[in-house]
Structure 1
Amino acid sequence: MKFTDGYWMTRKGYQLFSPFEIHDVRIGTNSITVYATHRHLENRGNTLNEPLMTMEFSSPMPDVIKAKFYHHKGQFRKGPNSFDLHVTGNASVTIDNNEEFVSLASGNTVVKITKRNPVKITYTHKGKHLTGSGTRSTAYVKGDDGVHHFREQLSLGVGETVYGLGERFTPFVKNGQVVDMWNEDGGTASEQAYKNVPFYVTNRGYGVFVNHPELVSFEVGSEIVSKAQFSVQGESLEYFLIGGDTLKDVLSNYTSLTGKPALPPAWSYGLWLTTSFTTNYDEATVTSFVEGMAERDLPLAVFHFDCFWMKEYEWCNFEWDERVFPDPVGMLQRLKAKGLHICVWINPYIAQRSALFDEGMENGYLLKRADGSVWQWDLWQYGMGIVDFTNPAACEWFKSKLGALLDMGVDSFKTDFGERIPTDVVYFDGSDPQPMHNYYTHLYNKVVFELLEEKRGKGEAALFARSATAGGQQFPVHWGGDCEATYESMSESLRGGLSLGLSGFGYWSHDIGGFEQSSPPDLYKRWVQFGLLSSHSRLHGSTSYRVPWLYDEEAVDVLRFFTKLKLSLMPYLFGKSVESSSIGIPLMRAMILEFGDDPTCDYVDRQYMLGDSLLVAPIFNPEGEATYYLPQGTWTHFLSGEQVQGGSWRKETYDYFSLPLFARENSLIAVGNEDSRPDYEYADGATLHLFALQDGAVATADIPSAQGDPRLSVQASRRGNTITVTSEGTADSGWQLLLRGISSVASVDNGLATAHEQGTLVSSVVGTASIIIRL
């Protein structure tokens, strides 16, 4: 929201009160409180009839500074007033209070407030300037209409770029954009977003989290071009400045504050196939798809039933349409006997024709209007009401309906919608409907995720969620919503996923082939490459099926190739997922997250790192042309074995069975001995591919079990022409090492070296071992 008219003037209807002069400083045990006047006090009389700004600084954890500014502290606000934070209390800090300034240091991150006017607030990490504000930046904005705001403007340095703010499909770098935190069902082709997260990071190496669930308006270099501005309505503003040595550290600190991503079950990484949205299907149709996939050797892990598993006009009643599915329990048993997991579509809306509507209305489980009547409208479903998740009884009621489906054999839920939440409603617990508009989806997904954990056990819960806000990363997986079957939409989907990853979310997916319209065979095959090299992979559409043989026979081969490739990479992918969940970094990573010191990566948004070792550059045109950037170092094409030196842009043409898929130097990537399912014993019979290990470098690989427990850890180090490999753990059928790009070795202790088409294979390695390889 803009409050200024150019650089000098204030817009009509507003008055800005900014801290100018420090009047007093109070030192607490682990905090400082600063009182600032809005102008110079020439005499005692100036203290009358004047507002005073209160600024509190503290730290909930090392390297995280909490800033809270007040005008009238006693204003009553209904909840939720903040997000659910996982760190309470204050961390140990160091406070310096002298004639020049007062400062608070937490870890290596420091906030300093000058005592000489004009007031300056400066944030640093290890002495490096991060950002700052103060006079003419921090402001209480008084509206002539009685609607008041608080605003902060944090400085942006020369060349500083801003990322994140949720899953945004607009340009990847947010500089120059106006971004409002307001969940909406806008597809992937607009500035609206399903997942708004008031958190951003910059290439200077810090993050800012605005702890307000309500509408937060960001002006990222769009009102004042050298400032990242955010504002909220009301009498106070709270935000956290998050520091760290790297952007990974910043994300780790942020997710420690708001919640780490849960580790999805291993089976969820396999290929998902859906009935699509409006297509006709029954058990015979579903079975034909499942059998068609099996006949063509296309490994399938999950089958998803979209909306019309329930009767039209009755979404949601959570009952199978008996006209189409007369024996749902038997059908699910037959599908699960084929090794499949089952997902069904749901949303938190109860149509008037649903048998549950009267039940929900009579028991007070639905959102109400001010007069006590049920809030209803006809958009999406005729006469629908919305479940009130602030009512504990309504949560248990909702869980009971879904629990019956789990008892039938359903394994997962696609938690669709959750964005179209009205603000003219009354909540059971008295919540303010403004902040609840965004926060609603957090409660919705939490209820469903917790039910899955209760019924299936921790580690087995997986959603396929569309809407979210800060903290929603705890309930994976999330997907990108309604995209079109175009290359442009494929590209915007990737931008959304990379932005979401830089907002604390670990796992993300998208509709392979595009949701709206039907893609031509060319686009389908290129999207298959991208989709199977994503965290999670789902074939889904709106008005047409997405089975590959409906496109052409080559599409079948392409889908088979990349599905099996992903399944064989599960030891690596799941190992990096365990890391993502424990640290709080995404599996699909924007280049800047891995190469923060390379300025070329600041704007790169058509490629990504899958984990820390694999670079993926999807192809976005029918000519098969790939334009991508390789940072400095030796890179090895994972499929062809070609080694190239990075530090430049490359342009090449690829067929449908390849794309730029490069392994980073000094990488040890575990490849499994299984390519027909995602959940197997990853360490047993694995081959560890060692890529371009440089002198003095160390490469490591941690291979978990399919339950996420440590199983095998391998380390390779190089000194001159000698590579030493050590391992700890167990691998019942042994594992082997593949030296990529090395055609022969002089000798091997405790192993046997043989020629391999992609290098030298060192075999006969079991469990704990120590191997010396002389080149």
Structure 2
Amino acid sequence: MKFTEGMWCLREGVNIEWMSNVERLRVQQETVDLLLNKFQRHRGDTLNSPTISAKVTSPLDGIIGVKLVHWAGNVDNGPHYAIDQETGHATITQNQDTKKLTYASGPLSLDINSNPNELDFVFHSESSKKLTGHSFRSIGYVRDARSAKYDTADGIYAEKQGYMLVELDLGVGEKVYGLGERFGPLVKNGQTVDIWNEDGGTSSELAYKNIPFYISSKGYGVFVNHPGKVSLEVQSERTTRVNISVSGEELEYFVIFGTSPKDVLRRYTTLTGKPALVPAWSYNLWLTTSFTTNYDEQTVTGFLDGFKERDIPLGVFHFDCFWMKSYQWCDFDFDDEMFPDAAGYLKRLKDRGLRISVWINPYVGQASPLFEEGKKNGYFIKRTDDSVWQWDFWQAGMAVVDFTNPAACTWYTNHLERLMDMGVDSFKTDFAERIPVKGIKYHDNSDPARMHNYYALLYNRIVYNALNARVGTNQGLLFARSAAPGGQQFPVHWGGDCESTFEAMAESLRGGLSLMLSGYIFWASDIGGFEGTPPPALYKRWVQFGLLSSHSRLHGSSSFRVPWIYGEDCSDVLRDCVKRKILLTPYILQEALRGHREGVPLMRALFLEFPQDLNTYAVDTQYMFGSNLMVAPVFSEEGEVTFYVPRVEDESQGTWVSWFDYSKTYEGGRWYTETHGFDTLPILVRPGTVTITNPLLKAPEDAALEGIQLLVNGRLDGKVSVEIVNPGQTGEVLKTIQVSPAADGKSVEVEGQETEVIYLHK
């Protein structure tokens, strides 16, 4: 939110009390408490003006938190994000002569200047390089008369809307990324971002998954620990700062240091929750009924037969909304007119070797038999007069399940378990963004404004836990649209409603990369686009891209996404892409396990992998698929694509090599323009790497040890460990293969498993 008009003026009705002085401070164990006030000329300046209490802490090594409080008398009904915390790693040094204090947490330090009227915070690395901080007029309390609650008739008691405001410095050339799933430019500089979940599709500034965490090209990240609306002006109000404001009386943020962007993500996901793993079968192709299409058992069976006849692998079949009767969403019952023997039909699908997913949401339409039950037992969000909160914007008279009520959670879970008993393996947890905030109350009296974003976390956690309780840790998964900080613990997430255009395909990639710079490691898009019917060229290009995403689902709105309706050549492209992804399963499982351990996503913005190459920081039309493969999707009907090949640190390791033609090499640090038919796209193998594949696999969950191949590109820089992950338990390593450069400098030696070695380029 903008409060100023340039450097000197405030907007009409706005007053900001800037903190300029440390009135007093106290050090207690690993905590520093400060009382901040305005510029002090004499003792009279302590009257008739606010103070801000600041508390400096360190929850984990390399992370420093600052909590700022104006008024401490508010009732705190939550909710709060779960934060991992340890003690014993922070040190505090005071210099009484200079009136400066240094708070150190491992490689990160905060210098605080407590000289009179010289308030200054500087975060720096162990090399004393400044990362960010608070300079002149950057911590303040805002009173805004542009609020409905402000009434001049109240005289001196008239209440203005209060905001906490902090402004963090940006350096020259510094770039900001993340803040959840955002479909605009990957670089956030110059943007205004509100952390507020909305169902807005992929073509606007609104987003389903808003995460108040950004990562800087300068070697740090910032997490704002606030579940309500957080407004950020990223060089869009002050051109040298990120301005962060929240409504109310307190704000807490954490500065997170990293020796690399990956290291920042490692620390951030340690703070907010490590990403969970998913079962191997989920990496196969998913097919859905699409949204408003007309389908019944015969239609679905025809689709499945078509895939089998064309030898296109298929792992998961998904039933979208209309598996239930209209106006009754969500009652968890198959429409008996379309599926008269639902339990029997699910069994027949399972006998084909398919996994089953069904669409759900956290709402109950008034026509549903469950509505009266939920109303009677208090399972829904209520208005302040104890009536059920309802509206017609989606399902007629729908109510919203109150997941702060343990009985409602049990009720909801029981219905999920009933579906799992029928054979359902996964749930598409749609919606949870349109959550009311005015005139309502929760069972546990949570603050409605703070629950708006947090609700998605509750919803996905409840469904995810129900699945894991049935199948075991890391064996359940969702297909979720909404999220909040910590949601990486309940995968998978997909990018929401996109149009069937090349532009929407590109914005979907930007949204995914942005989310995966926010602690998430798995992501998918609606292949072919959701709204509209894709032309064949777009369908095939999105298939190429979608099958090089962590998860791959064919889904549309009013038209089916089976390939042959777009032409049999589309079936050929889909077959090739699915089979390529399946042979990459050992590599995908290995990279996912590393992501689980370190918070590094499967699909990576280039700078995450090559922070030393400054040219990578603005690229948002290509990505790394794991550590070894670079992918440049084709975003044009003509097949022309321009892409950048990153510069590796040790150029003696060799050159990048085309996945499709090992004789085709690429030099790092250069741009290339190529034209591709529908049988290829730029997939480049990184020099100095070993990529594990298995062309014998028919499905991702097949036995892992037989048929392993190692693709070696260039000279290895020492020993490389390749982990063979158990597809039956994706958190378990079956074997570790050690690959070392041989004495001849051209070949490798392999220990731990007999495998075929393929040299791409020596």
The normalised TM-score by structure 1 is 0.93
Q: Does 1:668 align with 2:682?
A: no
In the alignment, the residues of structure 1 paired with residue 725 and residue 196 of structure 2 have an alpha-carbon distance, to the nearest angstrom, of 39
Q: Which moved more, 1:284-293 or 1:697-706?
A: 697-706
CA deviation digits over 1:651-710, x for unaligned, max 9?
A: 00111111110011111000113342111222322001111125x444332221111211
Q: Does 1:715 align with 2:738?
A: yes
Aligned partner of 1:109 in structure 2 is 108
Q: Does 1:684 align with 2:706?
A: yes
Q: Which moved more, 1:486-495 or 1:96-105?
A: 96-105
Displacement of 1:598: 1.1
Displacement of 1:449: 0.1
In the alignment, the residues of structure 2 paired with residue 607 and residue 662 of structure 1 have an alpha-carbon distance, to the nearest angstrom, of 11
Displacement of 1:4: 1.0
CA deviation digits over 1:598-646, x for unaligned, max 9?
A: 1111110000001111000000000100100001241011121122211
Instruction: Choose which of 427, 434, 457 in structure 1 pairs with 2:442.
Output: 427
Which amino acid in 2 is paired with 1:57? Answer: V
Q: Does 1:382 align with 2:396?
A: yes
Superposed counterparts of 1:525-564, under 5 Å: 525-564=540-579
Displacement of 1:278: 1.0
Displacement of 1:724: 7.3
Superposed counterparts of 1:26-65, under 5 Å: 26-42=26-42, 44-65=43-64
8 Å CA contact 1:463, 1:477 repeated in 2: yes
Summarize the Cα distance change of 1:31–1:584 in structure 2 as closer, same or farther, 3 Å threshold: same
Q: Does 1:339 align with 2:353?
A: yes
Instruction: Choose which of 673, 688, 695 in structure 2 pairs with 1:651.
Output: 673
Superposed counterparts of 1:254-269, under 5 Å: 254-269=268-283
Instruction: Choose which of 589, 599, 602 in structure 2 pairs with 1:584.
Output: 599
CA deviation digits over 1:434-487, x for unaligned, max 9?
A: 011111010000000000011121121110000011111110000000000000
Provide the secondary structure at the position in 1 that maps to 2:635.
Answer: coil
Superposed counterparts of 1:113-512, under 5 Å: 113-116=112-115, 117-126=117-126, 127-144=128-145, 145=150, 146-424=160-438, 425-512=440-527
8 Å CA contact 2:742, 2:749 repeated in 1: no
Instruction: Choose which of 622, 626, 649 in structure 2 pairs with 1:607.
Output: 622
CA deviation digits over 1:192-224, x for unaligned, max 9?
A: 000000000011111000000000001000000
Displacement of 1:569: 0.3
Superposed counterparts of 1:687-766, under 5 Å: 687-694=709-716, 696-706=717-727, 707-708=729-730, 709-718=732-741, 721-722=744-745, 725=748, 729=752, 734-742=754-762
8 Å CA contact 1:62, 1:91 repeated in 2: no
CA deviation digits over 1:256-299, x for unaligned, max 9?
A: 11111110110000000001111111111111111110110100
CA deviation digits over 1:564-596, x for unaligned, max 9?
A: 000000000111001111111111001110011
8 Å CA contact 2:741, 2:749 repeated in 1: no
In the alignment, the residues of structure 2 paired with residue 45 and residue 485 of structure 1 have an alpha-carbon distance, to the nearest angstrom, of 65
In the alignment, the residues of structure 1 paired with residue 590 and residue 5 of structure 2 have an alpha-carbon distance, to the nearest angstrom, of 52
Summarize the Cα distance change of 1:574–1:47 in structure 2 as closer, same or farther, 3 Å threshold: same
In the alignment, the residues of structure 2 paired with residue 651 and residue 318 of structure 1 have an alpha-carbon distance, to the nearest angstrom, of 50
Displacement of 1:426: 1.0
Which amino acid in 1 is paired with 2:136? Answer: T
Q: Which moved more, 1:717-726 or 1:661-670?
A: 717-726
8 Å CA contact 1:3, 1:14 repeated in 2: yes
8 Å CA contact 2:645, 2:666 repeated in 1: no
Which amino acid in 2 is paired with 1:67? Answer: V
In the alignment, the residues of structure 1 paired with residue 50 and residue 229 of structure 2 have an alpha-carbon distance, to the nearest angstrom, of 25
Displacement of 1:255: 0.5
8 Å CA contact 1:674, 1:680 repeated in 2: no
In the alignment, the residues of structure 2 paired with residue 336 and residue 270 of structure 1 have an alpha-carbon distance, to the nearest angstrom, of 15
8 Å CA contact 2:64, 2:255 repeated in 1: yes
In the alignment, the residues of structure 1 paired with residue 751 and residue 273 of structure 2 have an alpha-carbon distance, to the nearest angstrom, of 31
Aligned residue pairs, count: 735
In the alignment, the residues of structure 2 paired with residue 322 and residue 481 of structure 1 have an alpha-carbon distance, to the nearest angstrom, of 29
Aligned partner of 1:95 in structure 2 is 92
Provide the secondary structure at the position in 2 that maps to 1:509.
Answer: coil
Displacement of 1:341: 0.2
The normalised TM-score by structure 2 is 0.95
CA deviation digits over 1:403-455, x for unaligned, max 9?
A: 10000000000000000101122100001110111110100000000000111
Q: Which moved more, 1:668-677 or 1:562-571?
A: 668-677
The percentage of counterpart residues that share the same residue type is: 50
Which amino acid in 1 is paired with 2:677? Answer: D
Superposed counterparts of 1:503-522, under 5 Å: 503-522=518-537
8 Å CA contact 1:5, 1:11 repeated in 2: yes
Displacement of 1:496: 0.1
Provide the secondary structure at the position in 2 that maps to 1:452.
Answer: helix
Summarize the Cα distance change of 1:662–1:724 in structure 2 as closer, same or farther, 3 Å threshold: closer
8 Å CA contact 1:666, 1:698 repeated in 2: no
In the alignment, the residues of structure 2 paired with residue 715 and residue 200 of structure 1 have an alpha-carbon distance, to the nearest angstrom, of 37
In the alignment, the residues of structure 2 paired with residue 548 and residue 445 of structure 1 have an alpha-carbon distance, to the nearest angstrom, of 31
Indicate the RMSD between aligned Cα atoms, in angstroms.
Answer: 1.4
Displacement of 1:553: 1.1
Displacement of 1:374: 0.5
Which amino acid in 1 is paired with 2:721? Answer: T
8 Å CA contact 1:687, 1:738 repeated in 2: yes
Which amino acid in 1 is paired with 2:556? Answer: G
Structure 1 residues without counterparts, runs of 5 or longer = 743-775
In the alignment, the residues of structure 2 paired with residue 12 and residue 740 of structure 1 have an alpha-carbon distance, to the nearest angstrom, of 65
CA deviation digits over 1:105-148, x for unaligned, max 9?
A: 00100011112332110001122211111431111112343210
Provide the secondary structure at the position in 2 that maps to 1:508.
Answer: coil
In the alignment, the residues of structure 2 paired with residue 324 and residue 41 of structure 1 have an alpha-carbon distance, to the nearest angstrom, of 78
Summarize the Cα distance change of 1:174–1:269 in structure 2 as closer, same or farther, 3 Å threshold: same
Which amino acid in 2 is paired with 1:689? Answer: L
Provide the secondary structure at the position in 1 that maps to 2:59.
Answer: strand
In the alignment, the residues of structure 1 paired with residue 89 and residue 326 of structure 2 have an alpha-carbon distance, to the nearest angstrom, of 58
Displacement of 1:89: 4.8
In the alignment, the residues of structure 1 paired with residue 538 and residue 186 of structure 2 have an alpha-carbon distance, to the nearest angstrom, of 22
Provide the secondary structure at the position in 2 that maps to 1:245.
Answer: coil
In the alignment, the residues of structure 1 paired with residue 6 and residue 725 of structure 2 have an alpha-carbon distance, to the nearest angstrom, of 56
Q: Which moved more, 1:708-717 or 1:308-317?
A: 708-717
